[in-house]
Structure formats: C-alpha cells, structure tokens
Chain A
Amino acid sequence: MARKPPRIELHTAPHAVAAQNVVVIMRNVVYALLPLLGYAVWLFGLSAFMLILVVLLSTLGTERFFNWMGKQGSTLDDWSAVITALLLALTLPPGFPLWMGVIAGITSIALGKALFGGLGFNLLNPALVGRAFVQAAFPVAITTWTPPFIVTRFTEFIPSTFTLPLMQPIDISQWLATSGIDAFTGATPLALQKFQSIATPVESLFMGSTAGSVGETSAILILLCGSYLAVRKMMNWRIPLYIFFGVVATSALLQLIDDTNPDPLFMLLSGGVMLGAVFMATDMVGSPITPRGIMIYGVLIGFLTVIIRIYGGLSEGVMYAILLGNAATPLIEMVTQPRIFGARKAPAKGGTDD
C-alpha cells in the first residue's frame, strides 16, 4: 500500500488557529437565533411559527431566484439568507398577514442584497431593508400587536395571519375579545409610554411578556444568545455596548431636561433595542471595523434611536437608527483610519491626528 505523501500547508500570516469562515460564523448566528425563535413561538403560538416559516421560504426563494438569474451557483448554503429571513421574521408583529411577510422577504433580498451584488456588498442590513419597506407600505398592519400568552395560541391562528393576498388584514379586536383577554390596548410598551404615559414593569420587559414584534420582547434571552456569539468571537461585542451606552446617555440627558421623558432603563429594555443592537447592528458588512469607528457608529445608533422615539412620529426608532448607521459606515471608516504603525504624520487630509 502506497504511503500517503505528507501534506504541507503553507500560509501567510495571520496564522489562524480556529477555522472561522463566513459559513461557520453564519451557522453559529443561526444557532444563536434558535432560542429566540423558540421563545417567540412559545409566546405567540402558531401564528408566529407560520410567519417565521413563510418569511424563511420567501427569502430563500428570492435568493435562489437571483442566483438563477445571475447564472451563479446556489448561495443558500452560506446561511446568510437564512439569517436575513429569521431576523426579518423576528421584527414583524405576530399577527402580521402572511402575504405581507412574503413581500417583506422578497424586498429584503432583492432590494437589500441582490441589487448590491450579494453577500458582502450590501450597504444596509437586508432584513431591515425588508422591514422598512413594509413599514412604509403597510403602516397600519405593522403596528397591530397581539398580546403574548393567549390561551388558544397553540390551537388556532390569529385571524389576520391568513388574510387574502392584497387585502387588508382582518380586524382582530373581535377575536381578541373572545380569546379570554380582558383588557388589551393593542400597543407595545413603547407606544403605551409615548401616547398614553403608561409605564410597563421592568420584569416583564426582561422576560418579554409584553406585546411587541415576534422576537424583540425578551431582553434577557437576546443578551444570552448574543453573549454566546461574543464568547465564540463571532460578533463584535463592543457594538451593542456602545449602542446601549448611546441609548442610556441620551435618554438620561433628555430626562434631566424634562422629567416626563421615560427613564434610561425603560428605553434600553423596551422595543427593539436589544434585538437590533445585538443581532442587526453587528452585521459584519454594514458596520465599521476601525476601533474608533465602532464607537462612533454605536453611539450614533443609540442616540438616533432615542431621538426618533421621543421626537419622531413613531414610537419605535431602532430600525431607522440602524439603517442610518449602516449608511454612515463608509464615511465613519474613512475619517477614523488608524495611523499606520511607524508613520510620523497622518497621511494628508482625511487621516487622523491622534
């Protein structure tokens, strides 16, 4: 039997020990999202499950379609489209009509990713592009919330889930009244705070037993899943920290000015700040890589989130804050180029001077 020749591998630096590539990282992000998905289904039942499934199918279908159009091989196996789909589904309300979910899935890949040239070229986070589109197109449906823990959530769907394509969502107030919900105002903690000045207890924000998008409600679970990625060095944990800092600092400042403004802890735990900061703002393509750039990017997103929430017409601002942060990333990277080691002066204009 012939001996196998010894395999000699030659590499240039850096000599990475662990085999981390796009596929491995993406797959682990999906693992990190699984508990969130499970918890979402536990909270909101069959409708949430169906929504996640339909968004996943439409997103993957669109990705495959563009692969076919561009005559390239399938890019489904790099898991990035799966992440886009799951993140998108997690940001939609549980009773969101499925046909709108399909539209969101198609736009997220088509407008957010394929038109820019696929994975690695997308300027903005594809999932948020899809959500921003349906937010602009169907402003009512995307702010129609259902409470968690409806008794019949595992035996029947929220009626608006199966709205006929192109038709308005079926009114769910009647159905809610017969499902054992005593008093439900149909608003998220943020909307309650903004429009009716009703505070929500911090514990329920932590545990996620509030109305809201499918996967944004539980702060503690999102942090746990995020720390798995951070420990495995698959996510830059500085970005969420800077965003949290931006949110807390801005809302603390605003509360000093006018104490009817909500307190920083509420701002941090409510709405999509956790989900957005941990899973969306950390998108490797759309976020800066320079250390000072990351700081500017994170604080900017946190600042914008609070400003939009308090002074904007909407009760939630994380989505637009992250999209604006993504859009500012090339500029941020340009002005925060670190000095080359050994170079005496910053190279002409646009460089740094520290």
Chain B
Amino acid sequence: MLDDKITSETFWEGVWENNPVFVMLLGMCPVLAVTNSTINALAMGLATLFVLLSSSLLVSLIRNWIPKQTRIAIYIIIIATFVTVVDYVIQAISLDLYNALGAFIQLIVANCMILGRAEAYASKVPPVKSLVNALGMGVGFTIALLCLGSVREILGSGTLLGFDLFGEHYQQWVVMILPPGGFFVLGGWLLLFEWLRQRKEQEES
C-alpha cells in the first residue's frame, strides 16, 4: 500500500527511475510521431503535462466517491475533458502548431501513461502527493520528447528550435524526419539510458 508521505522520490521517480518513455515505454505513439522537431516535441510534452496534472489532481480529489466498477469510464471522461481544453488552447495560441500536431493532441486521451497514473497512483493517494508525482512524470515525459525531438531536428533539418546551426550547405538526413528516424533515435536513447542505469547500479553494489 502506498503511504501518504511525500518524499523527493515522489517527484524524481517519474523523471529518472520510472521515466514513462525510457523505462516504462508508455505513450510511444506521440513519442514517435510528433518528435520530428523540437518545438512539436515541447508542445506535445507540455500539453501532456497539463492533462496529466489536472486529471491526477481531480481523480485524487474524488477518489473516495468513484465506484470501483465504473472507474475506467470516469477516468477517461476526466482525461477527455482536459484534452478538449488543451485542444482548444493550442488552436487559439498557434494554428500552425495545431496543424503540425494534428490528431495527436486528441490522442493524448489514449496515452496509457495518463490513464496508468490515474489507475495506479492518483486513485490511491491524497491530492498533493498525486500532483507532485504527476509533475515528475510529466516532466520526465517532456524531457524524453525533447531528447528525441532535438536530435531529430538537428540531424534532419540542421536547425534547433528553428535556428540554423550549420549554414545553408548542411546536408539534411532525410530519414531522421521520417518515421524510421523516430525509431532509430528512440533506440539510441534507450541504449544510452540503459547503459547509464547499469553503470549506476554497478557503482552502488
């Protein structure tokens, strides 16, 4: 059973030890699909972070009134509500960004990381703890998306956040912008993180 005490681990768990992308491999659909540029990755990360925070808070607040039999449906309604909010907000801020992200904003509702947090965490702990944990998870997810997005943008377009890095003669690696590039870069990062993790474990033991 989870206790109610908030430790630093509550936050850092999502960033490092149980990073939703690099360790739990959750929410792979946006990770692979919208990371072809840094700005897309950042927007998707922040949108997911917002939905995760709000839904975790709300689920945690009403956790004692949710009937066990209908909990999944209730979680989905709560998450979908916040996704709709994000959907309209992004549309209002930047239509270009909205078009670039396409259906993947609406698909945040199907991100298993968010539902997983609601089911496994928010419904069992008090609001503040749930919020801190959701923040960690969301930050971890955003960092992971940025890791992929920046590498793919640098190699694929020679730019970072739209700034030209290498001058006009840069040879773009076309494959990095295309879907296979997402798999290559994700694989590379997984390799790196696993290697770091193993080294850390060896040092501790």
Contact = CB atoms under 8 A, between A and B. Distances in A.
A167 B171 contact: yes
Nearest to B168: A168
Contact of B169 (A136, A138, A141, A168): A168
Contacts of B173: 137-138
A231 interface: no
Interface in B142-183: 158, 166, 169-171, 173-176, 178, 180
Contacts of B171: 100, 138, 141, 163, 166-169
Contacts of A163: 171
Interface residues of A, number: 13
B166 A166 contact: yes
Contact of A167 (B170, B174, B176, B178): B170
Interface in B42-80: none
Nearest to A111: B184
Interface in A162-198: 163, 166-169
Interface string B83-115: 000000000000000000000000000000000
Interface residues of B, number: 12
Nearest to A103: B173
A168 B174 CA distance: 12
Contacts of A266: none
Contacts of A139: 174
Contacts of A169: 171
Contact of A136 (B158, B166, B174): B174
A133 interface: yes
Interface of B: 158, 166, 169-171, 173-176, 178, 180, 184
Given A136-B174, A138-B171, 13 more contacts: A100-B171, A133-B175, A137-B173, A137-B174, A137-B175, A141-B171, A163-B171, A166-B158, A166-B170, A167-B166, A167-B169, A167-B171, A168-B169
5 contacts: A136-B178, A166-B171, A167-B166, A168-B169, A169-B171
